[in-house]
Structure 1
Amino acid sequence: MADKDKAGRVVILAGPTASGKSALALDLAEALDGTIINADSMQVYRDLPILTAQPDAIDQARVPHRLYGFLDIDDACDAQRWAQMAAKEIDDTLAAGRVPMVVGGTGLYIRALMTGFSPMPGISAAIRETARQTVLELGPQEMHRRLAERDPVTAARLIPSDRQRIARAWEVLEETGQPLSWWQAQSPVPLTPHRFLPLVIAPERADLYTAVDARFAAMVGRGALDEVARAETQPHTSEGGGRKALGYPELAAVADGRMTLAEALPAAQQATRRYAKRQLTWFRHQVPSANFISPDLSAMKFSQSSTAQTRQKIRDFLLTP
């Protein structure tokens, strides 16, 4: 954890998918000498820039962007891994005299950055490899049953087919003798000493749903289906990673002939609307101290006056002792 004497100010701009976060963040970062740090769990994957709505090269040239499109599609990324990387990017941004602006809609990532983690044990390479080999040999269902005998709390949270998480829980048991659930119940340790200003975009639900549908159709028009088709030709080492992106399962079904595009498009739009609704609910309940802002124009856009008000709010935060 960074020294308390080095505490800085960090702006969080969160909200549901298709709510206009990226455009607003770009305007704010240009005006405030900001660096945009990605907090979207799917925008870290380089193979899916269109499907995951990553900023394009023109936008990324306007202000510095960090943690976008740097992982392979099968590379697992969880909240702890992301938060540790984001904390380093924040420190580097502050050291460069710029304003860190963490932008995204993955609430668990943002909460992890702001509150930290329970202390977790180191795992030796030998025990980690043994746990993975045991899951492969016995199968995830049998290992899930054995895990339930020793750590029923963790087992109840896991899908019996989730090899990766079952192996993780088992290796913690083997290394420490304590269940993973016990470690997770310990008081969290903050990753940084920094102060955060959380801003959450909260559009009217009907406007958000309209924006979700329009954006997904536009993604398909720009080549999202081709992205998924190329990704599907790669060897599958995991069903997680970038393959969990909104719309990926439906477009993959089109790519291999199980669905038509006419069937996949509304199905993907509906799944995305449901996810956006869950995001809105999560932020309202989990970040009640946030400053909630709403687009005052259609298509998730902000007027010059409302953007200026947000800029002033951030300036006040940066200058307040």
Structure 2
Amino acid sequence: MTTGLPPLALIAGPTASGKSDCAVALARALVQQGRRAVVINADSAQVYADLAVLSARPSAQEMQGIEHRLFGTWDGAVACSAADWALAAAMEIHALHAEGAVPILVGGTGLYIRTLLEGIAPIPPIDPFIREQVRALPLADAYAALCREDPARAAALNANDATRVARALEVIRSTGRPMAEWQEAREGGLGDTVALHPLILLPPREELYARCDARFVQMMDAGAVEEVRALLARRLDPALPVMRAIGVREIADWLQGGCTREEAIAQGAQATRNYAKRQYTWFRRQPPVAWPRKEIINSEFSSYFEILLQH
């Protein structure tokens, strides 16, 4: 890019796709040129201090001396929404630009990334009574109601996506405006204020799933069990994101006698693969077509950031 806008690198993709390694490699390449680079987390699990192992948060050794921010920043008792994270990330990016540094976003949470770049729909708080009514509906009834009340949104959603169906229905009922209108009114995005250098990592699915399986087993032996024990001891609300993170429910079930260790590992690995599959689909379809996709894990990355590295 030849604009005078400050640079922002983005390395995104599904879990176990090698994003962190690529981000650190890019940062080190920039450092060798005499430029400062800082990696900023864009993963909704890695924001929580309680999930160092289960979120595969990079260790000090894996960071290789590169500064990392927004990793383990939130206590699990406090939910971090996309808007919360986007505000914090934007502040970090602006501060780094003011210091002449290059921020490198890395993560797999598409909603976080989209909110940061495009802004957030200014939807007012949902009426609690309406929310309670909507969340009490069976999924089939909620989707049927959404088809009647906001057919455009219903057509864009999977009928089995309980979270998004309920959200769209409560928005139309509470505000009187369909989700599309609110999304068109997005505000606060920084996409037009930076020179974005994106890269999407989409390795072969079978290789990705094998890495997911291996990683979950490694997590069990590297402290994941102790993390879940600590979370259970805190007696946090089960609805909090930290308690719904992949691996927490599966390991908690084992610790509470609901399954064997082997069953917990199998279930956790399957949940990880399912999550990676959803992320893979999102990053293949949702980002702009012009954003480059890389299909080989641990292959040379510099050509994707050639312009950034030439500055």
- Give, as a single letter, the amino acid of the residue that structure 1 aligns with 2:292: N
CA contact (8 A) 1:169 1:180 kept: no
- Tell me which amino acid in the other structure corresponds to 1:68: F
Aligned to 2:302: 311
Say which of 23, 26, 29 aligns to 2:24: 26
1:227 matched to 2:256? The reply is no
What corresponds to 2:69 in structure 1?
66
**Shift of residue 55, structure 1, vs aligned partner:** 1.2
User: Structure 1: how far apart are the matches of 2:186 and 2:47?
Assistant: 25
Could you tell me which amino acid in structure 2 is paired with residue 98 of structure 1?
A
CA contact (8 A) 2:201 2:294 kept: yes
Q: Deviations over 1:158-198 (max 9, x none)?
A: 99x98xx87x958x977xx6447365243433522112121
Asked if the contact 1:17–1:105 (Cα under 8 Å) also holds between the matched residues in 2, the reply is: yes
Alignment of 1:63-212 (within 5 A): 63-118=66-121, 120=122, 131-132=127-128, 141=136, 152-153=149-150, 178-179=176-177, 181=179, 184-192=182-190, 193-212=193-212
CA distance in 2, matches of 1:35, 1:182: 35
After superposition, the Cα gap between the structure-2 partners of 1:84 and 1:319, relative to the gap in structure 1 and judged at 3 Å, is farther
Pair 1:196–1:217, CA change in 2 (3 A): same
Give the alignment's TM-score, normalised by structure 2.
Answer: 0.79
TM-aligned CA deviation for residue 22 of structure 1:
1.0
On the 8 A contact 1:15/1:105 being kept in 2, the answer is yes
1:205, distance to aligned residue in structure 2 (A): 1.3
Determine if contact 1:107/1:283 at 8 Å carries over to the other structure. Answer: yes
CA RMSD of aligned residues (A): 3.5
SS in 1 for 2:186: coil
| Residue 45 (structure 1) shift | 0.6
Residue 39 of structure 2: SS of its match in structure 1? strand
Distance 2:124 2:130 in 1: 19
**Deviation per CA, 1:19-73, whole angstroms, max 9, x where unpaired?**
1111121121122132101011110010110000011133446111111111122
Using a 3 Å threshold, how does the CA distance of structure 1 residues 169 and 8 change in structure 2: closer, same or farther?
A: farther
Between 185-194 and 199-208, report the one with greater CA deviation: 185-194
Looking at structure 1, the residues matched to 209 and 131 of structure 2 have their Cα atoms a distance apart, in angstroms, of 41
Specify the code of the residue in structure 2 equivalent to 1:47: D
Partner of 2:281: 281
Amino acid aligned to 2:18: G
Q: What's the CA shift for 1:220?
A: 0.6
Separation (CA, whole Å) in 2 of partners of 1:53 and 1:265: 16
Stretches of structure 2 that go unaligned for 5 or more consecutive residues are 31-35
- Structure 1 CA distance, aligned partners of 2:26 and 2:227? 30
Where does structure 1 lack aligned partners over 5 or more consecutive residues?
Answer: none
Q: Does the residue aligned with 2:10 lie in a helix, a strand or coil?
A: strand
Aligned-partner SS, 1:47: helix
Q: Which 10-residue stretch deviates more, 11-20 or 193-202? A: 193-202
Distance in 2 (alpha carbons) for counterparts of 1:102 and 1:39? 6
Aligned twin of 2:49: 46
Q: CA deviation at 1:112?
A: 1.9
1:291 alignment partner in structure 2: 292
Q: Residue 184 of structure 2: SS of its match in structure 1? A: coil
Aligned pairs, number: 292
